[in-house]
Structure 1
């Protein structure tokens, strides 16, 4: 079963968190005495199938704690880029040589602290079997409205077949690297790894994940994540 061994994780963490606001990049905001990125890393590295992780940080990041291991597993760092895809690509290139081209790599948001072990297990199982990889996602349950420039409703959009992409997303190292390189050459800013793969003709599998695997983007998200991690 190709890709079922040698699984590493990649965490793009070079962003400044402009949408959140404040001086501290959101990945370093603390919940329960630990920064968001520590919760995200520990959730990944606690899974027995994950061997290590690479974090892509900004060149001028003075807040990086200098971790070289967590959960008894190797933790590497590299310099990320201006866009998410640049950071993921840098981290893929920084993976140990022992990580083969057909080995799975999990890409996870640094600001998703509430990742559960059963979601990781089901994602790895699906991606190991599916040639195009897989991603955690959640079906859209709310009614969707399309708006004009003045925030007035133009129409109600059908939600059938629509999912919200979550992370981790799991793809084989070589295929994801090629897809991200192609997007860069084409001048396309991809907002997640699955989008890069889709541009190459891939059809990744959607694995329904927990709704509480939220990404901290606003102060309200931080409050909710704090509550969820206290349960």
Structure 2
């Protein structure tokens, strides 16, 4: 099957939970921004023809990064939510394209996980995920337990998430029009009747969300290369 793979990086968020004046994707680990760490694997991968980064219209940091001039990278403006940012990026893709959507603040992705995901050709698409290992509680009011979930059937969704571009675009458009809560690309595809495949991924593929995650990401990045 002939297909063209385009990486999409939604990077227009402010990361309020990081308690930082900088958007979290521009915080530094080992003298490089999180965004630079995240992008390096995709820039070096010949299977990925292009990278589309969705940034805020008010972004003052991206243009000063050396990689902002990289010929493989195109920028678009992000939207109100992650889903809008991804949708804005998908408008530049065609029927032959598959979209590989990855969080800007998830810098520890290993090539071995990327390799597994890019083998998927199922039109339902696929996501990296890890089985739930903690006990999961459900609450109705935010502070009292209603019951304990059966973790045997639960997975933590990671990124990248990998889908044929046009079905993904249509699914996000339909979901937004219906006012559905689209928290990731897989949820949009699920609403549209698709059943994405779960591809087991590494647990060190963390998303930097809170201040303590920065030190953990630095630890993982110093323990080995992304090519592992």
User: TM-score normalised to the size of structure 2?
Assistant: 0.92
For structure 2, the 5+ residue unaligned runs are 224-228
1:16-165 aligned within 5 A: 16-65=14-63, 67-69=68-70, 74-95=72-93, 100-126=94-120, 128=121, 130-147=122-139, 149=141, 151-165=143-157
Residue 190 of structure 2: which of 195, 198, 219 is its match? 198
Tell me how far apart the structure 2 counterparts of residues 114 and 217 of structure 1 sit (CA, whole Å).
13
Tell me how far apart the structure 2 counterparts of residues 34 and 53 of structure 1 sit (CA, whole Å).
19
Q: Deviations over 1:45-86 (max 9, x none)?
A: 2222111200000011111135131xxx51000111110000
For structure 1, the 5+ residue unaligned runs are none
Equivalent pair of 1:78/1:94 in contact (CA under 8 Å):
no
Q: Does 1:166 align with 2:158?
A: yes
| Local SS of the residue matching 2:63 | coil
Deviating 4+ runs (over 3 angstroms): 147-150
Tell me how far apart the structure 2 counterparts of residues 116 and 166 of structure 1 sit (CA, whole Å).
13
**Alignment length (residue pairs):** 220
RMSD between superposed Cα atoms in Å: 1.5
User: TM-score normalised to the size of structure 1?
Assistant: 0.90
Tell me how far apart the structure 2 counterparts of residues 131 and 172 of structure 1 sit (CA, whole Å).
7
Q: Deviations over 1:14-48 (max 9, x none)?
A: 11111222210001111111111111111222222
C-alpha distance 148-90 of structure 1, shift in aligned 2 (>3 A): closer
